[in-house]
Chains A and B, each alone.
Chain A
């Protein structure tokens, strides 16, 4: 079954009247076509301002489409809002959205009540969720004193109080430390194993690769492509790059001619970047640079926007900007 289906979805925001008196608006989603299959972890990958949160809000029923249709498990978000609300859980990133003067347990009791759980189910679900996100020990402490990571875990538990078939996670790992991010990935895998559908937005390619069955690249309010994450991974790892400082440029001679080197560019006076096609070539370049006294060496991966350009260039699509 299809968990989410958006057809020609458009959303604009009104910015009031401009100086010339004309109505100004931002188009956050342009005629977006988008689909998530039930039981999958679907990544929505795009830079800031791409329209990810806008799409999540529409699916969460806190924002209406300007035009176009969206269904969640076959229910239209406009005409069957109540059914959609019963089947969707939301976790927006960041620390807000919790009651800081209540304990973790009280927060969950409250939200369970709002989702209509009778008392016994409410108590049981709360304890189960606290254990699941590792907060049982701290459940009687006020959220006020929680670390950022604990708040994020509580948010995740909160998103699950309604036992949702579809879970929307909007940049849930922003600011998580690596251990927490790993635990988070395990939890996502568990939720998927329970048959839930997860829509995860992120601007982190590694995260998308690690947990998603499918990834949709989105930019400028348009879905550019939907791929298996390995297809993206291959693109990312194909080119490696080394950046370094060489104030007098004496590390440069002969670099472009080395096997596997595809480009040498100047980033700023005295700072350069070498792009290679393979790890072997990268090793050779690093060795040479160190011999020649280059400093501040870093290896990086291509940025998301470049990956877009590559993907889009390959397929003759337009960049949505």
Chain B
């Protein structure tokens, strides 16, 4: 069996943990009225807040940005849920197995992708008309696909953060919150990227969400195809880059754990 097929199978079996965690967290009712409701209000809040603060012309782009951001916020929960593996005491068993850790962790938290893409698609499609964005039927699959790309790309970035936090479990929630608040501020969601000094623009340049928002904005404005697919391709490339980084990071994590004896069975 090729390494790729083997990795995909591991992702698939690991995703059962994701499904089981999701089922334990939400019921249909609490997901729809609790989680989705909360995220939709947040999108509306940030969009209107910008209008009050005196940039009414940017309401549209702020809406797109905040709506796309909902799937990213959820994708970043991978940071916290990766750390659950330490709590479960499975880390040494995973390291002792012949499998790579990265596919295990990639599958482990996919519930956030599913829920995030659904939430942000609902936000864009249902709330869009309120802010003057009317989607055509052919645009709808593109909206969902772009969200999926952005969520997965950000998730891969989150995996790398997750590895770092595996050795500092107490930081798991802070890390994911700081990450998404930074994205919200720097990646062209509340204010344009150009607003920030060069080092911050550099950071925004390697985060998939920056391009995901750009592509979605172009799509909503009915811009030329190139204005949509070029940033979309950037999301794909960056996501692949972060995934590759996650493979390396997990190997480094395992080797470091073997060296310093931190792969404890129970903690």
Contacts and interface: CB of A to CB of B under 8 A. Distances in A.
Contacts of A61: 95-96, 258
A86 B98 contact: yes
A114 B88 contact: no
Given A14-B260, A62-B257, A97-B90, A102 B16 contact: yes
Interface string B94-109: 1111110000100000
B257 A162 contact: no
Contact of B96 (A90, A96, A98, A113): A90
A96 B265 contact: yes
A96 B20 CA distance: 18
Contacts of B88: 96-100
B96 A62 contact: yes
A283 interface: no
Contacts of B258: 61-64
Nearest to B98: A85
A61 B96 CA distance: 6
Interface stretch (A103-111, A237-245, A264-272): A103-111
B194 interface: no
Instruction: Name the prevailing secondary structure of the B interface residues.
Output: helix
A90 B92 CA distance: 10
B6 interface: yes
Given A62-B263, A113-B9, A101 B21 contact: yes
Given A85-B98, A114-B104, A57 B260 contact: no
Given A96-B266, A99-B90, A110 B97 contact: no
A100 B87 CA distance: 11
Contacts of A18: none
Contacts of A158: 93
A126 B51 CA distance: 59
Interface in B1-37: 1, 6, 9-10, 12-14, 16-17, 20-21, 23-24
B1 to A, nearest CB: 7
Contact of A96 (B13, B89, B104): B89
Interface in A303-319: none
Contacts of A100: 88
A233 interface: no
Interface string A67-99: 000000000000000100110101010101111
Interface string A241-285: 000000000000000000000000000000000000000000000
Nearest to B255: A64
Nearest to B263: A62
B92 A110 contact: no
A112 B17 CA distance: 15
Assign chain A's interface to a size class.
20 to 34
Given A116-B99, A162-B98, A101 B17 contact: yes
A85 B99 CA distance: 9
Contacts of B265: 92, 94, 96-97
B141 interface: no
Given A64-B259, A96-B266, A111 B98 contact: no
Contacts of B132: none
A99 B17 contact: yes
A99 B20 contact: yes
A8 B13 CA distance: 41
Given A99-B20, A99-B90, A110 B98 contact: no
Contacts of B24: 101
- Of A94, A97, A113, A118, the most chain B CB neighbours within 10 A belong to A113
Contact of A63 (B10, B12, B89, B261): B261
Contacts of B98: 82, 85-86, 114-116, 162
A63 B259 CA distance: 6
Contact of A111 (B6, B97, B257): B97
Contacts of A92: 92-93, 265
B13 A162 contact: no
Interface string B155-182: 0000000000000000000000000000
Contacts of A115: 97-99
Contacts of A82: 98
A156 to B, nearest CB: 13
A3 B90 CA distance: 26
B263 to A, nearest CB: 5
Q: Lowest 5 A-B CB distances belong to which pairs?
A: A96-B89, A101-B20, A114-B99, A113-B13, A62-B92
Given A97-B88, A99-B88, A101-B20, 10 more contacts: A62-B92, A82-B98, A88-B96, A94-B265, A96-B266, A102-B17, A110-B14, A110-B16, A110-B17, A114-B13
9 contacts: A13-B261, A57-B261, A57-B263, A61-B95, A85-B98, A92-B93, A97-B89, A110-B17, A116-B6
Interface of B: 1, 6, 9-10, 12-14, 16-17, 20-21, 23-24, 88-90, 92-99, 104, 257-261, 263, 265-266
